[in-house]
Amino acid sequence: MHPAVQLNSVSKRYGSRPIVHDLSFTVERNEIVGFLGPNGAGKTTTMRMIAGFTTASAGQVLVCGFDMATQNHEAARKLGYLPEQPPLYDTLEVSQYLRFVAAVKGLQKSEIPRELDRVMSACRLETVVRREIYKLSKGYRQRVGLAQALLGSPDVLLLDEPTAGLDPGQIQETREVIRSFGAQHAVLLSTHILPEVTMICQRVAIINNGRLLAIDSPASLQQASEDSNNVALEVTAPAAELEQELRSLTGVLAVSTHPVPARPGVLRVACHVDGGEGAEARIARAVASRWELHRLERQQPTLENIFLRYVAQGEAKGKGQQ
């Protein structure tokens, strides 16, 4: 069984300007992969190569085993694509537009009414089905774009910023649609909204300057991050003695202390520890045996911090290669 999407050493140049460099990763069937990167990182260009809107300068793009360069029609039949700007015809009513897209996708005429009902229900479009698209809010326009991508139940769904412009309720509804689709299909989801990744994606691909910096599960990226190993505590103790005691403990790599405003004698302490087990317990025992321990907690990084760290590392590596 071929992966739903497979990129093999894919690069893209516009003239002498490199956009994507030697990109390789896969999206498996029944998997949702988040595609993260700052503006200009190469996400949209990569999505457009997978969708067949532009060709790779080097490497191979496969969709369900079909080569997008030589088997474009077969590969395109496997795809549903929502670009950053939904491809809408403003003068058509929502139902007219979706019926037109269904016909273009080659759906049997007898299947179209049932398929329109399915995608309009999934995207909560029942109340605007007879409304012209130009009269819709940005949120509803985004939903119509998602509905056209879902038509025909494609094996692969490419979504470029699918929740842009939606209100919190609409974002939640869209997440549910994507999550339900990913249970039986493959989804590649480009987004700047990091909570979406942790909520619905099984893996995350981080890209910057056209290079893949990391690809793993959100939990694994957090665990792998050096910034994940921090223990925060508040203690009533002399700063110098406390720092000396903490630095002597196995697994404690660095210690910093700061007075807590309006609480004389209380210190706020940050301990950077290694990845070994039991760091919190050793710190708690050492501190509580000599001083008054008010609070202790292990701090996990946000995915945003991890993302920014990988981007910074990638930029430093890129400068070093110049």
pLDDT in tens, 65-116: 999 999 999 999 999 999 988 889 999 999 999 999 999 999 999 999 999 9
pLDDT at residue 4 above 60?
A: yes
> What CATH code is assigned to 5-224?
3.40.50.300
Which has more confidence, 217 or 322? 217
Rg (CA), the chain: 25
**Residue 56 pLDDT:** 94
Per-residue DSSP letters for 134-202?
Answer: GGS-HHHHHHHHHHHHHTT--SEEEEESTTTT--HHHHHHHHHHHHHHHTTSEEEEE-S-HHHHHHH-S
Mean pLDDT, the chain, integer? 89
Residue type, 195: P
CA distances from 194 to 141, 232, 288, 306, 312 (A): 23, 24, 37, 11, 17
- Please state the pTM of the whole predicted model: 0.77
**Residue 248 pLDDT:** 94
Pair of tokens at residue 92:
């058509």
pLDDT band, very low/low/confident/very high, at 169 (cuts 50, 70, 90): confident
Nearest Cα residue to 201 out of 16, 59, 315, 34: 34
pLDDT at residue 225 above 70?
A: no
Where are the domains positioned within the chain? 5-224, 226-299
pLDDT at residue 322 above 60?
A: no
Q: Which CATH class is domain 226-299?
A: alpha beta
pLDDT digits (tens, 9 = 90+) for 114-166: 999 999 998 889 999 999 999 998 888 989 999 999 999 999 999 998 887 77
Q: What percent of the chain has pLDDT over 90?
A: 61
Strand partners, 299: 230
**Residue 315 pLDDT:** 67
> What per-residue string of b and e applies to 277-296 under the rule 16 or more CB within 10 Å gives b?
eebeebbeebbeeebebeeb
DSSP state of 38: -
Residue type, 243: E
Least confident piece of the model among 18-22, 130-134, 177-181, 274-278: 274-278
pLDDT band, very low/low/confident/very high, at 317 (cuts 50, 70, 90): low
Query: Residues with Cβ < 8 Å from 251, sequence gap 6 or more?
Result: 273, 274, 276, 278, 279, 282
**Residue 132 pLDDT:** 96
